[in-house]
Each structure stands twice: as C-alpha cells, then as structure tokens.
C-alpha cells in the first residue's frame, strides 16, 4: 500500500535541522521550539503510520520521485514500525529533557539541536530506507552527528572520547561501504528487494560468506559488540545525558542491530535451518558480550560508565536472542530492543539529573538522594527493576521470552546464562540504588534539589511507558512485536512484498 | 585483478597507520587512506574496458546506440556521495584533533590518558 | 589571520574571480556535463578561501563571515528540501520532476527541471559549508569562543 507519510520521517527532522541555525539567530529560543515541534510531529506521524499499518495489514511503501524499482524505495513494515516508534519515543523524551539540561552549557544551544535533529533524521531514514546505499548514507549521517554530540561539552575527556569513537566508527563505516561495493559488483543493484532476489539465485558461494563477514564487522563496530566495544563506554560516558540515552537506547540498536537484521534476514535470507554457522556465531559473540559487559559494569565506580558497560551486556542479550533463531528468540530480541531503549533511556536521563543537581556522578560521593530528589530516584529505581528483569516491568518479559526461546531450542545452558546475568544486572544496578539513593542512618545525605519539571516529565513518561509495556505485554506482543518477529522469520517475503506490492 | 588487490593493499596500509601511529594527524591521514581505498574500489567496480564516460553530449548518441557503451555511472554517483561523507568526517576529525592540541599542546596520543577502557 | 605578500595577493586577486566563475559554470552545467553542485561548490569555497588566506582578516570580519556562511549553508539545505517538498505537495511525490518543474529541451542550459535547481542548492550548501569549515578550523580561536 502506498503511503505518502513516509518521506515525512526524513523531511521533518531535516527541515528542523536547517531551520534551527537560521531562526535561532533571531531569537535563541526558536531552537527549542523548532526541535520540539519536529519531534512531536515525528512522534505523531510514527504512531499514525503504525495505526495505518495495523489497519491495512500490508507493508507501506513509497518510491521517491515515482520511479518504481529503479528509484529509491522507502519501506514501512512491522519491523520498521517497532524501530521508528522506539526512535521517536526516546527521541521525544530526550528532547524534552534537553530543554533544561542544556542550561549547563553556556552557549551553542542551536548547535545541539541541529545535531540532535540530524541524528534523529539519520536514524529515521535508516529505519524506513529500502535501499542499501541509502542505509549507508543514513548510518553515516547519524554517526557523524553523534560524534559531534559526544564532543559537545568540549572538555578534555569528551573530545578524546569523541576522537576514539570516531576512529572506530569510521573504520566500521568504511568496512560497510566496502561490503556494499562488493555486493554491487556482484549483483548490479542496490534495492534491497532486487538484491535479495539476485542473491537467492547465486547460492552460498565463498563470496557470499565473505560479504556477510564484511558487513557483520561493520555492524559489529556500530553496535559495540564485544571485541569492538572500546569506543562505547567512553562515548556514552562523555556525552551529554540525553545523548547518552539516545546513543545507548536507540543508536547502537538501530544502526547496529536493526541494520544487521534487515540485511541478514531480509536480504541474505539466513535461517537457522540452512545456515546454522551464522546463528552460532551470533550466539558466541552475544554470550561473550553479555558476560564481559556485565562483569565490567560490576567493577565500575562511575555512574554513567557503569550504565555504558551494562549496554554492552544488553546488546549481548539481543544478539543471543537473535542467534537462537526461532520465533520466541526473535520476539525476545525485539522486545528487548524496546524494553532496553525505554529502561536505559530512563537510567541515563536519571544519571544526568543526578549529575546536574548533585554535581558529581562518582558513586563514592553520592548518598541518600532519595530524600531530596524523589522523582529522579524512583524513576531510576523503577528503570533498574525493568533492566534487571523484575516482573511486571517490560524488561522481565523480554528476558522471559529470550529464555523461552532458548529452552524451546534446547539450549539450556544459554537459558541458564541469560537468567544468571539477569541476576548480575540486578546486583550492579542495586549497588547504584543502594549507594546513591539511600543513606544509612548515621550518614548525611548529599544536598540536592529535584530536577526541573520538564526533565522530570521526560523520565516519568519513560517510566510510564515501561509500566504500560510491562502490564500490557500481551497487546504489545500481538500488535507490535509479533508481526515484527514474523518479518524476521519469513525473511525472503520482503522481496516478494516489495516488488509485488 | 591487480587494481583491486592494490585497493585492498591501500586499505590495509591505512588500517596499519590508524592502528600503529601515535600522532593524531597521522591517524587522520591513515583514515583518509582507508576512505580513498574504498572509494577507489567502488569506482573500479563500475569500470568497463573500452567504454565511454557516461555523458550524453548530443541527442544523436542516444539514437545511434552509442549510449549503451558507457561505464556504469551508478558507482560514480555513489562514490561522490561517499566522498562528501568522507569530507565531513575528515573535517570533524581534524577539528577534534585541533581541540585536543589546544588542550594538551601536543598531537601525541600516548600523552593523553584521561580515558582508559 | 595575517595576510600574505604582495605577489600572492595580486595573484590571488586575479585567480579568485576566475575560480569563482568556473565554480559557477560547473554548478550551472551540472545537468549537462560532469560536475554539479558539489564540485562547483568546492570551487567557490576554494575561491573564498584563497582570498581570505591571501589578504588576511581581523576577528570581527571573520566572525561575520562565519555567521554569513552558516546562514547560506542552512538556506541551501532548506532550498533543497523545498525542491523535494514542491514535488510532494504538487504531485504527491517526493522529488517529483515531470509535471512540476519546467523540463525544457534536452541538452540545453534551461532544462532538466529539478536537477539544475538542486545543483544550485547543493552548490550553496557545499560552498558555504566548506568555507565555514575552513573558518572554524583555521580561525578556531575566534569562532569557537563565541
């Protein structure tokens, strides 16, 4: 079904990004206004498009310039719907949060919003693009915006982290481009659907595996998978809090996991039955990320650094769940993308307001914040529960589905490992809660005020969504996650639907 | 075949420079080498021996069928896009390097150790 | 930024105009010959950079140039987006060319509908953007402090 709403996902944030530097010369607060309008419109459009998708039942498509098949395709199916909703919900909350958070920085409000909107535009563009080279371009747009945003504070460590992140990220981008060049040399097409058909006729030659390996390395760097994780902790640690929330909650999952899923499952058409090697590889790297990320998080003393390592661990969960390769595994992976985006978003936002109000984020110096900052503290505590998999929060169901998937695939050790590291997650997050938010009787709590209203509102929104997703998991499963998992299950239907529709 | 291998070699040289050099500017140069290698490879993909550049200079060309003997223009367009992306990343990298220089008064990576991990 | 010697200044003055013109030519003929918005924009930026390197400038001028080029860059981006949206609103199709823009006859200067306009937009964005990058890098001690 053709939908004329799809280009808006790119046009709205880009228009915002171009208007912010122009209009903020007149009045600096236009920057907030434009970013707010753009993000609200995006949120409304993504929910509305999802409802159209629900009502119609067939994926939505759009050909740029009206050039069918030879032009650039935009594609909106259940998987895209999930990713776009995650991007725009977390993006909206981060934007709301930034309004007051940016008071910490003396200048450059408009620069922040321009880059922020470019980041959102890149992520949305990647999600709805149906063209390989366009996916690359959007990955790079969002990546470049994120490098600059990590360095936004221009303190020593921020610039250093950004440089490190940039070197690794750009090598990843170059490897991705190399893989795309190989694919183009082989098939002479870049549209994902025709690419998928061309690859299906070629069979699984060594070349096929070489291309898969090249692309996997590129995406692995982008998602911060274990051997390539070096940039992630520093970048998430140094970025402004709303950007940490976006990077950790959305960026690594959209550019890394979503990009990989789209290419591997929908274009290359890998499936557990035919190519078990690929899935075992995912499980291996996922398990290593899960274990090492969890253990590294345990030993951190800095609040944000702990959360960053925790993200590596959670990416490991998603990879393991994808590697299981059956329906519940996919459901678990996608549910975890949603739950982790909301949960980690809350935690990073909470860490930002703690840092802003208490002036430090060293766990040694934080005590008893619960009394002075009740909203932030409880947002953090509920977010931690969700991340650790305590029922009835969203995180519980994602881990439950992963474990169900592992058991039904007869990988009992994997189910055990997932459950074990859920407990590890709980323990390191409890450490933060115990140390920072509660104080022993004889200790003097740190003096701090509650964060400004919009910041609290952003956190409360995310926590409310965590609760809604957790309590209404049946509905979320039936209407959002289930169809998306089916897109991954029946990977090669993608080409049929796009070219037939 | 040799041009392709040369591209891969260039890529590896760039990677070596990025990994082994300690000077920020050299790292940026190594990164540029990587980028050029990939762009060159992509441009070579569309090459066809004895073909014309894909420019239509008169309507006759289309009528006479000369238009069929063109090199593939798609990789060229894509490489141009990739070059633009590379330009912006290089500029950003250099500005970060300048920033680091202002803070530390040196380009040596081993001198700044604020972040480990 | 200090200026350079008289020889350089004279040569730069002679060259800059030609460079600027050539950039404009490349930009406007983008739909007929190799080149286009990006190449033309780079040439225009090169002309601007040449002049400001040769003659030098003071802080106020530099800052004004930076603001002006960032405004031009945003205008170029907005213009490009407006071209895309023109097709979207007129014919329900992003980047629609036929039926929205004047197509003209092939191989003439005024032809191609959307393409030359898009080239101009890209040229504006790239030229101003590159010049802003140059100012931000070369004159970082002025610009970044704002």
Burial class (CB in 10 A: 0-12, 13-18, 19+), A10: buried
Q: CB distance C107–B58 less than 8 Å? A: yes
* Position C31 in a domain: yes
Asked if C3 contacts C94 with a C-beta cutoff of 8 angstroms, the reply is: no
Q: For residues A483 and B6, what is the distance between their CA atoms, to the nearest angstrom?
A: 46
Q: For residues A43 and A91, what is the distance between their CA atoms, to the nearest angstrom?
A: 9
Answer yes or no: is pLDDT of A80 > 90: yes
Q: For residues A126 and A109, what is the distance between their CA atoms, to the nearest angstrom?
A: 26
Facing residue for B115 by CB, picked from A160, A167, A181: A160
Say whether residue C136 is in contact with chain B using an 8 A CB cutoff: yes
Asked if A270 contacts A211 with a C-beta cutoff of 8 angstroms, the reply is: no
Answer yes or no: is pLDDT of A444 > 70: no
Answer yes or no: is pLDDT of C145 > 50: no
Q: For residues A309 and A7, what is the distance between their CA atoms, to the nearest angstrom?
A: 36
Q: Mean pLDDT: which of A56-70, A147-161, B14-28, B50-64 is highest?
A: B14-28
DSSP letter string, A372-431? H-HHHHHHHHHHHHHHHT-TTSHHHHHHHHHHHHHHHTT-HHHHHHHHHHHHHHHHHHHH
Measured CA to CA in angstroms, residue B23 lies from A171, A289, B101, B114 at distances of 17, 31, 11, 17
Shortest Cα distance, chain A CAs vs residue C9, angstroms: 33
Q: If you average pLDDT over residues A370-394, what whole number do you get?
A: 86
| DSSP, res A302 | B
pLDDT in tens, A466-480: 999 999 889 989 989
Shortest Cα distance, chain B CAs vs residue C134, angstroms: 9
Look up residue A172 and give its two tokens. 């990843």
* Position C29 in a domain: yes
Q: For residues A266 and A277, what is the distance between their CA atoms, to the nearest angstrom?
A: 17
pLDDT in tens, A37-63: 999 999 999 999 999 999 888 888 888
Element (H, E) at C133: helix C114-138
B2-111 folds as Helix Hairpins (1.10.287)
Q: In whole numbers, what is the pLDDT of chain A averaged over residues?
A: 88
Instruction: Tell the residue number behind the tokens 């109000």, with chain if given.
Output: A357
Chains within contact range of chain A (3+ C-beta pairs < 8 Å): B, C
Q: For residues A94 and A455, what is the distance between their CA atoms, to the nearest angstrom?
A: 9
Q: CB distance A171–B74 less than 8 Å? A: no
Contacts of A135 (CB under 8 A, 6+ apart): A126, A129, A259, A262
Structural domain range at position C88: 6-143
Say whether residue B78 is in contact with chain A using an 8 A CB cutoff: yes
Q: CB distance A178–B11 less than 8 Å? A: yes
Answer yes or no: is pLDDT of A251 > 90: yes
pLDDT in tens, C38-93: 889 999 999 998 988 888 777 788 888 888 998 999 999 999 988 888 888 887 78
| Closest residue by Cα to residue A38 from A7, A16, A5 | A16
pLDDT in tens, A327-379: 999 999 999 999 999 999 999 999 888 888 887 777 777 777 777 788 888 89
Say whether residue B99 is in contact with chain A using an 8 A CB cutoff: yes
Half-sphere exposure of A500 (CA within 13 A, CB side): 9
ipTM, 2 decimals?
0.92
Q: For residues A160 and A169, what is the distance between their CA atoms, to the nearest angstrom?
A: 14
Q: CB distance B89–A137 less than 8 Å? A: no
Look up residue A418 and give its two tokens. 């997932």
Element (H, E) at A60: strand A60-63
Q: Where are the domains of chain B?
A: 2-111
The total number of structural domains in chain C stands at: 1
Listed by number, the residues of chain A in 105-144 with a beta carbon closer than 8 Å to a beta carbon of chain C are 107
Q: Does the CA dihedral A79-A80-A83-A86 come out positive or negative? A: negative
B64 C-beta neighbours (distance < 10 Å), count: 10
* Position C1 in a domain: no
Q: CB distance A137–B85 less than 8 Å? A: yes
Say whether residue C108 is in contact with chain B using an 8 A CB cutoff: no
Say whether residue C94 is in contact with chain A using an 8 A CB cutoff: yes
Look up residue B71 and give its two tokens. 């090199």
């Amino acid at each position: 079904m053709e939908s004329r709403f799809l280009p808006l996902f790119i046009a709205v944030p880009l228009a915002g990004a171009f208007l912010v530097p122009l209009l903020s010369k007149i009045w600096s607060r236009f920057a907030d206004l434009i970013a707010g309008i753009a993000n609200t419109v995006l949120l409304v459009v993504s929910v509305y498009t999802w409802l159209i998708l629900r009502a119609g039942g067939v994926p939505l498509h759009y050909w740029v310039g009206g050039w069918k098949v030879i032009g650039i395709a935009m594609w909106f199916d259940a998987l895209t719907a999930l990713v776009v909703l995650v991007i725009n919900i977390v993006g909206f909350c981060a934007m709301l949060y930034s309004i007051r958070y940016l008071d910490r920085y003396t200048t450059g409000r408009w620069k922040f919003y321009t880059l922020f909107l470019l980041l959102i535009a890149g992520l949305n563009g990647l999600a709805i693009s149906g063209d390989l080279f366009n996916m690359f371009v959007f990955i790079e747009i969002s990546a470049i915006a994120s490098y600059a945003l990590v360095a936004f504070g221009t303190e020593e460590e921020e610039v250093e982290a950004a440089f490190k992140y940039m070197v690794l990220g750009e090598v990843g981008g170059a490897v991705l481009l190399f893989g795309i060049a190989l694919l183009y040399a082989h098939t002479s097409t870049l549209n994902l659907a025709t690419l998928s058909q061309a690859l299906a006729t070629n069979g699984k030659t060594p070349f096929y595996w070489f291309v898969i390996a090249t692309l996997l390395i590129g995406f692995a760097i982008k998602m911060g998978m274990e051997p390539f994780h070096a940039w992630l902790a520093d970048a998430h640690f140094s970025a402004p809090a709303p950007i940490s929330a976006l990077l950790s909650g959305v960026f690594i999952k959209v550019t890394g996991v979503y990009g990989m899923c789209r290419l591997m499952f929908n274009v290359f058409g890998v499936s557990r039955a035919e190519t078990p090697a690929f899935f075992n590889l995912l499980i291996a790297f996922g398990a290593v990320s899960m274990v090492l990320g969890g253990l590294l998080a345990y030993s951190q003393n800095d609040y944000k650094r702990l959360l960053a390592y925790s993200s590596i661990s959670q990416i490991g969960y998603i990879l393991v769940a994808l590697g299981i390769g059956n329906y519940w595994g996919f459901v678990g992976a996608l549910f975890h993308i949603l739950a982790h985006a909301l949960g980690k978003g809350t935690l990073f936002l909470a860490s930002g307001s703690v840092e802003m109000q208490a002036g430090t984020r060293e766990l040694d110096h934080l005590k008893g914040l619960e009394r002075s900052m009740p909203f932030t503290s409880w947002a953090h505590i509920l977010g931690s529960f969700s991340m650790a998999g305590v029922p009835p929060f969203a995180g519980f169901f994602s881990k439950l589905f992963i474990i169900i998937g592992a058991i039904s695939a007869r990988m009992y050790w994997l189910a055990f490992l997932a459950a074990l590291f859920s407990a590890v997650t709980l323990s390191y997050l409890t450490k933060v809660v115990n140390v920072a938010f509660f104080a022993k009787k004889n200790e003097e709590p740190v003096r701090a005020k509650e964060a400004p209203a919009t910041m609290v509102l952003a956190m409360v929104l995310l926590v409310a969504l965590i609760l809604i997703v957790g309590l209404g998991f049946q509905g979320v499963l039936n209407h959002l996650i289930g169809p998306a998992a089916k897109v991954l299950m029946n990977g090669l239907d993608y080409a049929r639907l796009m070219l037939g529709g | 075949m040799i041009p392709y291998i040369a591209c891969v070699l260039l890529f590896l040289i760039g990677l070596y420079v990025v990994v082994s050099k300690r000077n920020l500017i050299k790292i940026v140069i190594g990164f540029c080498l990587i980028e050029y290698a990939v762009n060159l490879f992509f441009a070579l993909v569309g090459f066809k021996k004895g073909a014309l550049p894909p420019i239509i200079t008169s309507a006759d060309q289309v009528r006479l069928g000369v238009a069929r003997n063109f090199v593939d223009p798609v990789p060229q367009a894509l490489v141009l896009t990739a070059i633009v992306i590379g330009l912006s990343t290089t500029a950003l990298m250099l500005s970060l390097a300048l920033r680091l220089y202002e803070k530390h008064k040196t380009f040596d990576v081993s001198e700044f150790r604020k972040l480990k991990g | 930024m200090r200026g350079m010697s008289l020889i350089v200044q004279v040569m730069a003055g002679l060259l800059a105009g030609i460079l600027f013109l050539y950039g404009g030519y490349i930009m406007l003929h983008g739909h007929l010959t190799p080149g286009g918005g990006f190449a033309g924009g780079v040439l225009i930026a090169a002309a601007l950079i040449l002049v400001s390197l040769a003659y030098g400038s003071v802080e106020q001028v530099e800052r004004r140039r930076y603001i002006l080029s960032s405004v031009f860059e945003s205008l170029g981006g907005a213009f490009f987006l407006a071209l895309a949206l023109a097709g979207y609103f007129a014919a329900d199709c992003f980047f629609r060319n036929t039926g929205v823009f004047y197509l003209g006859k092939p191989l003439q200067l005024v032809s191609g509908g959307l393409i030359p306009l898009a080239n101009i937009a890209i040229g504006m964005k790239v030229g101003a953007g590159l010049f802003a990058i140059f100012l931000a890098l070369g004159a970082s001690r002025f610009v970044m402090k704002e």
